[in-house]
Amino acid sequence: MLTNRDRILGGLWGLLIGDALGVPYEFNGPENLPGLEQIEYQPPISFVRSHSGVLPGTWSDDGAQALCLLDSLLSCGKMDINDFASRLLQWYNCGLWAVDNKVFDVGNQTARALIAYSNGKPPYESGNIIPDGKGNGSLMRVLPLALWHKGTDEELVNDAHLQSLVTHGHICNQVCCALYCLWARRLLEGHSISEAYSSAVLGLRKIYSEDSKFYYELEWSIRPDEAPIGKGGGFVVDSLRSARMVLASDNYEQAVKSAIALGDDTDTTAAIAGGLAGIYFGFDNIPNRWYSELRGKEMVYTLIDKLF
């Protein structure tokens, strides 16, 4: 029987390791990737890896921003959008929570939003710098909110919306983050992957009133009841569907390797799926070779001590 601690550690390390595992394969189509058995921090010699100057086992913007969120939550004791936005800007400018303090992968929308914030745009508005932007940049980092949160489902949903506003203000991004957080919460409670997802959808439908724009977005843009067919792309709905698809796996390793095998936004898909797979399968199911070779993990220990 997995303990709550096992699941929380699995979720946090599962996100970071999935991200790091996907970094060398980013921007490649699935036809150009090595076979599942060869997907490791260090790809086969014949494979031209992305971010060639980045050492194997290094998490990217996904992991760093997730740690910024966790750090903010633990420091403030609540979801404080001003504090969180400030930490994201420190990451962007100075490499806060980035391995070796080096920022090497920044989404266009995130960069523009943080520049707008640094120029005086309130964090409630900075994420609308691209009004129709529906990238996955807030979904990839939101998991620590679910790992930390002790409030009601509605409070968790509202905080998931809030953290998204800083860089990805579109309502589609907010709803995807809310659904993901409820899904993670149900997994922490011990439900199966499919049961947890169905319960999260039902819970979100109860929270959103049927005449609200949030309910409309859930039903007509995200379409949570449709079969999960994802392509590993950067569109937030596709990222959510890709995670659902690869989580029909037997263990953590299979889930994140299947996420990477989709190609394109490999690190983010593996981070999003890896966090949930880590919760469901538990920390001990994550291959020790990946945990032991993850760079920068020592600085996460202080956050884990505070979290527990």
Annotated binding site for Mg(2+): 60-62, 265, 267-268
In whole angstroms, give the CA distance from residue 72 to residue 76.
Answer: 6
Closest CA to 274 of 17, 69, 9: 17
In whole angstroms, give the CA distance from residue 266 to residue 18.
Answer: 9
Neighbouring residues of 35: CB distance < 8 A, sequence distance ≥ 6: none
Task: Using alpha carbons, list the distances in angstroms from residue 291 to 49, 114, 140, 178, 246.
Answer: 21, 31, 20, 28, 21
What is the DSSP secondary structure assignment for residue 128, as one 8-state letter? T
Burial of 259 (0-12, 13-18, 19+ CB in 10 A): buried
Query: From the annotation, which residues make up the binding site?
Result: 60-62, 265, 267-268
In whole angstroms, give the CA distance from residue 227 to residue 238.
Answer: 12
Neighbouring residues of 183: CB distance < 8 A, sequence distance ≥ 6: 196, 197, 200, 276
Neighbouring residues of 141: CB distance < 8 A, sequence distance ≥ 6: 62, 65, 66, 68, 69, 163
First to last CA, the chain: 19
Neighbouring residues of 156: CB distance < 8 A, sequence distance ≥ 6: 145, 146, 149, 178, 181, 182, 185
Angle, to 10 degrees, between the axis of helix 236-246 and the axis of helix 266-281? 40
| Structural contact between residues 184 and 275, judged by C-beta atoms closer than 8 angstroms | yes
What is the DSSP secondary structure assignment for residue 286, as one 8-state letter? S
